[in-house]
Amino acid sequence: MTGRIPTEEEVIGYLDSLSNWGRWGDDDQMGTLNFLGPDKVKRAISLVEEGTTVSCARTVMFEASPDVPVPPVHFMVESGEGWATGDKVTTRTAQGATDFFGMIFHGYSITHVDSLAHFFWDGKMYNNQPAHLVATNLGATAESIELTKDGIVTRGVLVDAPMVRGVDWIERGEGVMPEDILAAEEQCGFKIEEGDVLLVRTGNLHRRNVEGPWNPREEGSTACQAACLPLFHERGIAMLGSDTGNDVMPTGYPNLTNPIHQVGIVGMGLWILDNANLEELAQACRERNRWEFMLSIGPLRLHNTTGSPVNPIAIF
C-alpha cells in the first residue's frame, strides 16, 4: 500500500510536534502508560468471553544465527545425570535440577518491552531527563522497567498488515503505512482507542519460519514506517508492538538510526514491544473474525534496567 514517506527533517520535527513532555507533569516517567487506569483494565476484562489464552512471545533459543549474533546463554548448574550411573546419591544437591541463563534481550529475536530509558535524542531521554541517568555502573536510574512492576493489562488490537494487503509478508526495507492501519480498522471493524496496545503483524516471523534466519542489519527488515507516528500520537496508544524490532531497516534517514524508537520513546514516551510472535494470535483473530482482546504483559521486576523479556498473553 502506497503512502507518502516523511523526510528526515519532518521526522525530527515530530520530536516537538508529537511531544508528550510535561503532559503528565515535569517528573513523569510513565509516558503513554498514563493512558491506562482502572477503567481501561475493566474494559479489557469485559472483552473476555471464552477464557482462551494465546501467547504472543517467541521461544527463547540458545543457538547463534544471523539475526542472533550473541545468543542467550543457558547451562545446568545441577542436573539428574548422576542418577543414570546407578550410584547411590547422598548429597543434597543431587535432589533437584537448577539452571543459569543470561541474555542480551534487546535485538531481533527475544520478545521484550523497552522502557523509556532505552533511547536518547540529543542527550535527552523522555520528558527532558538527561541521558547520563543511564549509567554503566548503576544502570537506568530513571525510567527503568521497574516502573511497570504491577503489570500492563489493557485492550489489545491486532493489525494484520499482510492480510490487509493480500500478501504473505511485508517486504524488508518497506514499512507498514498509516493507510494499512486505517484499512485494517475498516476491513476488520475495530477502532484503535486511547490506552490500547497496538500490535502490528508484518509477517516477518512467518517469513523467518519459511525461509530461515537472516541478518537484518545487512538484508533489512520491516516494521511500521515513521509516517505512522502522528497516528499513534493522535489515537493515544499506550504501547506499540510488532513481530519485528519496530524500525524499518535501512531507515532511509542518515541521522536517525531508529526513528520509531527515537521519536516514540524519547518524544512521545511510547512504550515498545519488540519481536512479538503474532502468528498464533493472527490465526485466533481470523478464526473469530475478532481483532480486539484483553492483553496482559508482566515485565520482570528488574532493578534499573532498560527493558525486560516478556510473554504477553492475549485472552479471548
Contact predicate 144/303, CB 8 Å: yes
Is pLDDT above 90 for 152?
A: yes
* Percent residues over pLDDT 90 in the chain: 92
Is pLDDT above 60 for 226?
A: yes
pLDDT, one tens digit per residue, over 81-110 is 777 766 665 555 567 889 999 999 999 999
pLDDT, one tens digit per residue, over 206-220 is 999 999 999 999 999
Please calculate the CA angle 290-294-195 and round it to the nearest 5 degrees: 105
pLDDT, one tens digit per residue, over 6-35 is 999 999 999 999 999 999 999 999 999 999
Say what the pLDDT of residue 94 is: 66
pTM: 0.95
Confidence of residue 78 (pLDDT cuts 50, 70, 90): confident
Q: Which long-range contacts (CB under 8 A, 24 or more apart) does 79-83 make?
A: none
